[in-house]
Amino acid sequence: MGARIKAILFDLGDVIMKEATEVKDHNDVTLTAELVPGAKETLVELRERGYRLALVADTKVGTYQNVLKQHGLFDLFETFAISEEVGCLKPDPRIFKTALTSLNISEKNYNAVIMVGNNLERDINGANRLGLISVWSNWNRQARYRSKPAEADQFPDYTIGTLPGLLEIIEPIERGLIN
């Protein structure tokens, strides 16, 4: 691993799993869902390269467990900061800090943590306000969420289409952290 990136945080919906394919139970917990193209291979590759992974998601507890276990991805993640458990939604800093604290990453190293999300108002805004490296994954280009930043904190540091795009920008990010 390039020694500088301390961890990579991921959102779940339309970053790892395709929200349009979710099969839910009567409690709105997702039982199964398909993955975004290349998501599994990318997460496996990142772990093989030695990166620490965490999930930071506004979802129900059962949803992330069911989907990640369905696709053999659960054990790739070191920690999970889930809105239902933490008691707040992104961009509240508490949800991000829950993951960062669990990973023993101090505030002085937040600038060496990547957050990958699909929502400018929640994921990118929250990451930017904490000084994380923000990566906007705009795989699902439908008008579900805003596609243009409405304020300064919603501008991502990097933009990718799907998770494999993250593999292409990891090294340039690492080089940037060394300077």
Lowest mean pLDDT across 7-16, 53-62, 120-129, 138-147: 138-147
CA end-to-end span of the chain = 17
Q: Does residue 1 have a pLDDT over 50?
A: no
Question: In this structure, what DSSP letter does residue 72 have?
Answer: T
- Over the stretch 150-160, which tens digit does the pLDDT of each residue have? 788 899 999 99
- Binning pLDDT at 50, 70 and 90, where does residue 106 land? very high
Q: Is 89 helix (H, G, I), strand (E, B) or coil?
A: coil
Q: 158 with 142: CB under 8 angstroms?
A: no
Return the SS3 of 160.
Answer: strand
> Do 162 and 38 meet the contact criterion of CB atoms below 8 Å apart?
yes
pTM of the model: 0.94
Please state, in angstroms and rounded to a whole number, the distance separating the CA atoms of residues 118 and 55: 13
Please name each of the domains of the chain with its CATH number. 7-178 (3.40.50.1000)
In angstroms and rounded to an integer, the radius of gyration of the C-alpha atoms of the chain is 15
Could you tell me the pLDDT band of residue 144, with boundaries at 50, 70 and 90? low
Q: Which residues pair with 30 in a beta bridge?
A: 24
* Beta strands per DSSP E along the chain: 7-10, 23-24, 30-32, 53-57, 79-82, 113-117, 133-137, 158-160
Residue 2 has pLDDT above 60, yes or no: no
Distance CA 91, CA 122 (A): 4
Distance CA 65, CA 101 (A): 21
